[in-house]
Amino acid sequence: MSGTPMKLILTQEVTGLGAPGDVVDVAGGYGRNYLVPRGLAMRWTRGAEKQIDLIKRGRAVREIRGLDDARDAASRLGSLTVRLETKAGGGGRLFGSISPADIAAAVLAAGGPELDKRRIEIKNPIKTVGAHQVAIRLHPEVRAMLDIEVAAS
């Protein structure tokens, strides 16, 4: 029965799936085991359908206020130099990789805005020292590119 689709209402933005208030059909296991327990979605019912308007209205208020804030944060991130120091072995290979949480903490330490680690997109795992670039979704209409420098400690 886990292969049967499940209808959910998103309560938070989920990359590749939708924004808060969207009604989506997902695989039963993905909904039951990941989205609902993490508070990213709630089961769709007729009663819950009424909450969609509240979720969307709250999102609209945040986005209107957030668009200017997102553009401001994007300009701040563009002028920021973020440096991360971590343990590395021979040839500049890291022990492990740099996580979105590591990047968010480094941005804050460098005097940048507080970022939600779920909005930091790392295309290829960062496993070497040197210069890297990551994308940050600040708003549905605003993306910022952040240059980070990874150094061996």
- What CA–CA distances, in Å, run from 146 to 42, 120, 124, 138? 33, 10, 14, 12
Q: Match domain 5-66 to its CATH number in 3.90.1300.10, 3.40.5.10, 3.40.50.300, 3.40.50.720.
A: 3.40.5.10
Domain boundaries, the chain: 5-66, 72-152
Distance CA 84, CA 152 (A): 8
**CATH number for the domain formed by residue range(s) 72-152:** 3.10.430.100
Question: Which residue type occupies 79?
Answer: S
Per-position DSSP letters for 63-96, written without gaps between them: HHHHHHHHHHHHHHHHT--EEEEE-B-GGGEEEE
Question: Which residue type occupies 139?
Answer: H
- Model confidence pLDDT, tens digit, residues 54-108: 777 766 655 545 677 788 888 888 888 889 988 888 888 988 889 998 998 898 8
Distance CA 16, CA 107 (A): 25
The model scores a pTM over 0.95: no
Element (H, E) at 60: helix 46-78
- Model confidence pLDDT, tens digit, residues 124-144: 889 999 999 998 888 777 888
